[in-house]
Amino acid sequence: MLTILFDLDDTLYDTASPFFRALENYRLETSYNDEATFALFREHCDAAFDLFSNGNLTLAESHIMRTQHTFADLGLTLTTAEAMHFQETYQKRQAEITLSPGIGQLLNELKSQNIPIAVFTNGPEKHQMKKFNALGLERWVPPVRIFISEKIGYPKPHAAAFAHVQEALGANPDELLFIGDTFETDIIGGQTAGWTSLWYNHRRKPEDEKVVLEPTFYSVADMHQAIHDNISKRKEM
């Protein structure tokens, strides 16, 4: 049976919204536009998460590091206390997140077709579950189909993370359809595991020399169509 898995951050909701709401309290004189500013933050988030996953930083230290490095690039030096304050504000804004427009409709349609839905995300379990609950995803995804890297013991794109999820679902690779926004972790990891992996590149990241086995798409409407096309193709086989 087909199971459809979604990444969480920047796939089911827009991570830029809570970031910029937290950033409203700061006066920055920078030449970066919003897109470039958020790209900086995401770059530092990824670097800090890798250090956290490898045990080189605590979660709090990783939050401080990514915040200080981001603000330094934007021309403002933050003390440790100031970085912690930004993180606290950011987390408050994350508690107010909502699903991206059109995602709820998509999940409802999949549920009406009796297609199992799962979430497969990197991050600390407690932190990611707060987002899961804020988004109301329990309407579509039961606890047994929530997969978070800290609980698994390996982050995406580690092969062991994908193997764990596949075994927990009792599925074969060709029964899994995975949608994610990050090429290096979601798409490479999924393709290596033999899953059908669809790249939701709504941030328009450079695609040169990136190997994708399925069409890339750029909006929730396109995501809806890509999933529909994949389901239809499976029925014809």
**What fold, for 16-94?**
DNA polymerase; domain 1 (1.10.150)
Query: What are the residue boundaries of the structural domains of the chain, listed by start?
Result: 3-14+97-236, 16-94
DSSP for residue 175? G
DSSP for residue 42? H
| Full DSSP string of 75-95 | T----HHHHHHHHHHHHHHHT
Q: Tell me the whole-structure pTM to 2 decimals.
A: 0.91
Tens of pLDDT, residue by residue, the chain (237 residues): 899 999 999 999 999 999 999 999 888 877 788 889 999 999 999 999 999 989 999 999 999 999 999 999 999 999 999 999 999 999 999 999 999 999 999 999 999 999 999 999 999 999 999 999 999 999 999 999 999 999 999 999 999 999 999 999 999 999 999 999 999 999 999 999 999 999 999 999 999 989 999 999 999 999 999 999 999 998 877
Which of 3.40.50.1000, 3.40.50.300, 1.10.3720.10, 3.40.50.150 is the CATH number of 3-14+97-236? 3.40.50.1000
Which of 185, 179, 154 minimizes the C-alpha distance to 168?
Answer: 154
Q: Any idea which residue has 């409203």 for tokens?
A: 24
DSSP for residue 57? S
Over the range 130-152, which residues count as b (16 or more CB within 10 Å of their CB) and which as e? Answer: ebbebbebeebbeeebbbbbbeb
**CB neighbours of 160 closer than 8 A, spacing ≥ 6?**
152, 153, 154
Which of 137, 23, 140, 132 minimizes the C-alpha distance to 74?
Answer: 23
Question: CA 177: distance to chain centroid?
Answer: 15
